[in-house]
Amino acid sequence: MAKLSTGKNNIERLDTVWRNMIAANGLTEELTYRLEKLILRLDSIADKIFIKTVKAQDILFECEQLSEKFKSELNEPQTKPLAVLTRIETQVEDLVKKTHAFRIKAG
């Protein structure tokens, strides 16, 4: 995954990855709910200016990497995919908070 793409493209890629995981129907209701919640959180900030910043792109890139790890850990019985999903949720919430703080500062 290229780190030099735009923030909106990163969001669209994450959206696609998460929707594909949901569509695979191998997830529990809890995992499906949590992924759908992540999709909605990112959709709410997709058009904001902060998404174009380097900080936001770094966070989105990390979310992409964690999503790939989460996807691979779903197939491994000895792993803990919930811990990875929680890290993704933390990153997304951090991104949302920073987006709103940036908007307030910008004024």
Q: What is the pLDDT of residues 64-85, one digit of tens each?
A: 999 999 999 888 877 788 999 9
Long-range CB contacts (< 8 A, 24+ apart) of 31-36? 31/81, 31/82, 31/85, 34/85, 34/89, 35/85
Nearest to 97 by CA among 67, 62, 68, 55: 55
Instruction: Report the C-alpha gap between 84 and 79 in whole angstroms.
Output: 10
Instruction: Report the C-alpha gap between 102 and 54 in whole angstroms.
Output: 13
pLDDT value, residue 1: 44
34 CB neighbour count, 10 Å cutoff: 18
Domain ranges of the chain: 7-106
pLDDT value, residue 68: 94
Global pTM value: 0.87
pLDDT value, residue 2: 44
pLDDT value, residue 79: 73
pLDDT value, residue 22: 93
Q: Which residues of the chain have pLDDT under 70?
A: 1-5, 107
